[in-house]
Every structure is written in C-alpha cells, then in structure tokens.
Amino acid sequence: MKDTNSVQSIERAFQILDLLRDQRREMGVNDIAAHLDLSVTTVHRLLQTLVGVKAVRQNGITKHYGLAPSMLLFGKAVLDQFDFIRSAHPFLGELSKAVGETAFMGILDDFELVYVDHVDSLDHSLRMTPQIGRRQGAHCTSLGKVLLAHLDYQEREAFLARQTFPKLTENTLTTADALRVELDKIRAAGYGFDLEEAENGICCVAAPVIGLEGEVIAAISISGPASRVRNKGIDTLLCDHVVSTAQMIHQHFLT
C-alpha cells in the first residue's frame, strides 16, 4: 500500500506542476484543488513538498504558488539534449527574416505538439507570442499534423483511435476520417497547413525535418495573422521557404 500511495503522490505532484505550467499564473491552494479535483489538505501537503525541493515557490504577499525559477534549469537541460535544435536555430532565423513572420520548431510527445524553438519576426508590431515548451493539440496545428502524418501506420492509427478531437474553431478537423484524409495529403505533399484551425485569425504552414536515418525528427513552420500570410502566399512563397529551409536543415545534418 505504501508503494501505491507513493506513486499516487508523485502523479499528483506532477499534476500540480502541469497545472501551474499551463495556467501561467500563481494559484491559491483552493484554486489548485478545484482544478484537479483533489482535497485542499492533499494539495497543501504536496505543495509544501514541492516548495521544499524548490520546484514551486510561494508568494510571500499573496500566499499563492507558482513554478520556481529553478525549473528553468530543467527546461534548459532538456533542450540541451537535442543538439539538432541548436544546429537548426540559425536556419529558423534566416527563415523568419526572409518572410517577415515568426518561425517555429516543434516535436511530437505522446501525440501532443511541443514547441522547442522559435524566432520572432521584428518586422511587425503584431507578432506571434513565444511559446517554447508549450504543448498543444497536434490535430489542429500545421506542425502537429505534419508530425502525425509521418508516424508509422500503427502509431498514426493509435492516435486516430481517440474518440474526440477538440473543436477550437469552425475550421478544426474533429473526426478520425477527416484527419486521416488530411494526414495522407500532407504526407504526399511534404507540407501541411493550419488554416485558422487552432486559433481564429492565425494561419501556419509547416514542413518536416528529416534526420540522418531518414526519420522525421521535428517540423518547422511559419505562423502569422491570416490576412497577412495569405497576402504573402501561404501556399506558394511561404510554403516554398518553409520546405526549402527544412531541406537545408536536413543537408546540414548530413555534412
């Protein structure tokens, strides 16, 4: 029983960390307990442990809790393990500069998109918000769909076997059949779009980054306000830039 309780405590502690990460704000004990459907006593006990190991800090004035600055070291350590991110970063910078929009790189983790790098454009006052480490549904983003499209058949079908896909806008694909058709098109074309599927007013185009063994190790994209990227040619100029940049990153790995 003790081992079971220990595992449950660890799981709940990570639920608190995930919640504080996603909310991006300090939260009180009652608020955390309500979000996670846990007792206040349990949450308070876990928070004290997390404070003790410097994963969480408590605001001395509001008494609310937030992620501790030391958590940044864990994020940096994870990113440092991916040498290709550092290697690819200059290419993202050139891509962003060439098209005047924000460039992103993402990977797939447990069928979710995780943003691992970005270069923000300085050409416009209206820009995309940096979101390194943010997780997002893969079914509604250009990066996510490109990565899903290049999974092997069994992995892709495991993803599609999920019963529901959240509808975020009127354009979000929410059925397995619709997504299957979309992923087949993306795999054949070598690029994919997000046409206001994740957020109204935002469009993106992405392409896969191929590793040394021919496997897809990441995807890169250009994102921006829908009217602006459509005027620039999301399916022509921007698409060509994204695809060619992904190919240049691949060639860089080969040298």
Q: Are residues 124 and 249 in the same domain?
A: yes
Q: 214-228, pLDDT tens digit by residue?
A: 889 899 999 999 999
Co-location of 216 and 180 in the same domain:
yes
Q: Residue 77 domain-assigned?
A: no
Shared domain for 120 and 215, answered yes or no, is yes
Q: 39, 70, 101: which is the final residue of a domain?
A: 70
Helix (H) or strand (E) holding 137, with range, is: strand 135-137
Domain extent for 124 = 82-254
Instruction: Report pLDDT for 164.
Output: 78
Q: Which of 47, 70, 93 is the last residue of a domain?
A: 70
Q: Are residues 26 and 118 in the same domain?
A: no
Residue 125 has pLDDT above 60, yes or no: no
Confidence of residue 1 (pLDDT cuts 50, 70, 90): very low
Place of tokens 């605001």: 59
* Per-residue pLDDT, 233: 94
**Cα 191 to the chain's mean position, in Å?**
18
Residue 195 pairs with which residues in a beta bridge?
203
Share above pLDDT 90 across residues of the chain, in percent, rounded to a whole number: 62
Whether residue 59 sits in one domain with residue 174: no
In a domain, 152, yes or no: yes
Q: Are residues 211 and 121 in the same domain?
A: yes
141 by Cβ neighbours in 10 Å (0-12 / 13-18 / 19+) ranks as buried
Nearest to 219 by CA among 198, 249, 183, 176: 249
For residues 69-96, average pLDDT: 79
Question: Is 115 within the bounds of a domain?
Answer: yes
Examine residue 76 and state whether it is found in any structural domain, yes or no.
no
pLDDT at 105: 94
Q: What's the pLDDT tens digit per position in 34-48?
A: 999 999 999 999 999
Q: Of 50, 70, 90, at which residue does a domain stop? A: 70
- On the question of pLDDT at 203 being above 80, the answer is yes
> Does residue 187 surpass a pLDDT of 80?
yes
The DSSP call for residue 211 is: -
Q: How far apart are CA 157 and CA 155, in angstroms?
A: 5
User: Which 8-state DSSP code applies to residue 79?
Assistant: H
Asked if 96 and 222 sit in the same domain, the reply is yes
Contact 240, 221 (CB under 8 A): no
Is 248 in the same domain as 129?
yes
Same domain, 153 and 59: no
Claim to verify: residue 58 and residue 106 sit in the same structural domain: no
- Please indicate, yes or no, if residue 75 is contained in any of the structural domains: no
Q: Is 200 helix (H, G, I), strand (E, B) or coil?
A: coil
Residue 129 lies in a domain: yes
DSSP 23-69: H-S-B-HHHHHHHHT--HHHHHHHHHHHHHTTSEEE-TTT--EEE-T
236 falls within a domain: yes
User: Are residues 60 and 103 located together in one domain of the fold?
Assistant: no
Residues 115 and 202 in one domain: yes
Identify the CATH number of the domain in which residue 45 sits: 1.10.10.10
- 58: which 2 tokens? 């408590």
Please count the residues of the chain.
Answer: 255
The total number of structural domains in the chain stands at 2
Each as own residue / partner, the long-range contacts of residues 173-176 (CB below 8 Å, 24 or more positions apart, any chain) are 173/139, 173/140, 173/197, 174/139
pLDDT digits (tens, 9 = 90+) for 51-71: 999 899 998 888 999 988 778
Give the three-class secondary structure for 11: helix
User: Do the Cβ atoms of 58 and 44 come closer than 8 Å?
Assistant: no
In a domain, 197, yes or no: yes
Residue 174 reports pLDDT greater than 90: yes
Max mean pLDDT among 62-76, 82-96, 126-140 falls in: 82-96
For position 129, which CATH number holds?
3.30.450.40
